[in-house]
Structure 1
Amino acid sequence: MTEAQHEGFPEPEHPEPTLPHGVPPWPGGRDAWPADANYDPDLLEHGDTRNVVDRYRYWRMDAIVADLDEHRHPFHVAIENWQHDLNIGSIVRSANAFAAETVHIIGRRRWNKRGAMVTDRYQHVLHHPDVADFVEWARANDLPIIAVDNVDGSEPVDAAPLPERCVLLFGQEGPGLSDEAIAASDRVVEITQYGSTRSINASAAAAIVMHEWVRVHARR
């Protein structure tokens, strides 16, 4: 049985989302097109409805990735993928928004991309078959692993600054991080809560913690 059959459905390729606030073809026709090689002739001719910031309007995808590589932040994001969690795509989208260096998928190679809204095309994604392989990679690159889970012994993420170079490790909706992942982490942090629910949505938690890193370390 293939993994796709095991999941019960195929993994579709989602097209770039079209947005009502896109831009039309470049005004003035071909004679007015910019000479910069970053620009995509097809987008200049037909318009750009992709979900990209204005700076990257009409740019080629590879040009956007190359430019992002010039100023990605030195934190990584890792996600355990044992249950094909729908939140993984949303976490990848947030990692792109906050310019994370790389997203690491631990476990199943295939992951649910729907929530990513194709931002994975602009984001470096690295697969690790298991926690041990991920930990070996992190140690080899001298990156502390910061687990995010509200378990005994975790500390509020806003109580002590996150390291500038690190991997933020997230679990899945419901079970959270595996015991193996928790044991391999250098620190475990949690988000302080004040209501009745025991936990918040996994992708929301990931966005909060990434923003906490940005709040402390990012240069505007």
Structure 2
Amino acid sequence: MRRPPPPRPAAPRGLAADEAKIHGANACAVTLRERPDAVVRAWFAESTARHWAEAMQGLAARRRAYHVVPDDELGLVAGSEHHGGVCLIVRKKRPVSIERWLTKMEKRERVCGLALEGVGNPHNLGAILRTGAHFAIDGLLVADTDALHSGACARVAEGGLEYVETVHCAHTGDAIRLARRAGFGILTTSSHGGEPLYAAELPPKCLIVFGEESQGLTKQTLKAGDVQVMIPGSGAVESLNVSVAAAVIDAEWWRRFRQP
């Protein structure tokens, strides 16, 4: 019986528990710049390799393996045809506990954190990270921090994961209780009721809680908030995508408390 050929040297090995595989030109460029020591291995497409010469030099200096491969092979490595010409295996950015995060925020007068309840779509998570980085959100509280390290999430986030602190909290109720005890106002969101966003009083030290758009927040979570807001609009559609809603509310909080 003929033996199968050995794997090519560029073939990706299995990932360790603390590793993630990411792709997308901007996502990988930001990681290479902000956490170069976290990069374990890299692949670059032949068609765009010349744009990554400096990154390759940095990888070689750190004794990190990299490979230049045909575009179709990179698609197999990345697990997606939307790889943007690059794929990395990286050490995951470590989340902090909610207790640790609240301690870090203790002396700050203006803080904005986002808590997600039931939001698991990687494209939504990536978009929330991207706009969160744009509006300098101080923390993203989620139950499953590993969901933030998928290739799709990283690509859509465009590097946002490197700029938004990820905070682990298993239960939304615990996040609300601990944040309130630490002096945060709790802002819940709904497409069906609440004060119009632009007329509502937003707290300068704020935890904004979002739910998955098809179901929204649970009744228990809605009741636990200090202020419930809705984004006014024409009413022509049922609701905004959760990542769009997060961007709108992030922008309004920025306008009030951080805009120069």
TM-score, normalising length: structure 1: 0.65
Summarize deviations over 1:59-115 as a string: whole Å, max 9, x none.
xxx9xxxxxx9x99611111113654641221122111100111111x334325513
Residue aligning to 2:25 = 17
Residue aligning to 2:133 = 96
Which residue type is aligned with residue 146 of structure 2? R
Could you tell me how far apart the structure 1 residues matched to 2:144 and 2:112 are?
22
Residue aligning to 2:176 = 135
Residue aligning to 1:79 = 116
Identity of aligned pairs, percent?
25
2:249 maps to 1:213 = no
Spell out the pairing of 1:110-189 with structure 2 (5 A cutoff).
110-112=146-148, 113=150, 114=153, 115-152=156-193, 154-189=194-229
C-alpha deviation, 1:137, in angstroms:
2.0
Which residue type is aligned with residue 96 of structure 1? A
Could you tell me how far apart the structure 1 residues matched to 2:109 and 2:137 are?
6
Could you tell me how far apart the structure 1 residues matched to 2:21 and 2:55 are?
22
Which is strand-richer, 1 or 2?
2
Which residue type is aligned with residue 124 of structure 1? E
Could you tell me how far apart the structure 1 residues matched to 2:110 and 2:183 are?
16
Aligned in 2, Cα 1:85/1:173: closer, same or farther, shift over 3 Å? farther
- 5+ residue gaps in structure 2? 1-18, 37-52, 57-92, 94-104
CA contact 2:109–2:205 (8 Å) conserved in 1: no
Summarize deviations over 1:153-212 as a string: whole Å, max 9, x none.
x01000123111111111112111122211211111000011411211111111001101
Report the RMSD for the aligned CA atoms in angstroms.
3.6
Aligned in 2, Cα 1:196/1:211: closer, same or farther, shift over 3 Å? same
- 5+ residue gaps in structure 1? 1-10, 23-37, 49-61, 63-68
Which is helix-richer, 1 or 2?
2
Residue aligning to 1:46 = 54
CA contact 1:85–1:172 (8 Å) conserved in 2: no
Could you tell me how far apart the structure 1 residues matched to 2:117 and 2:25 are?
26
Residue aligning to 2:144 = 108
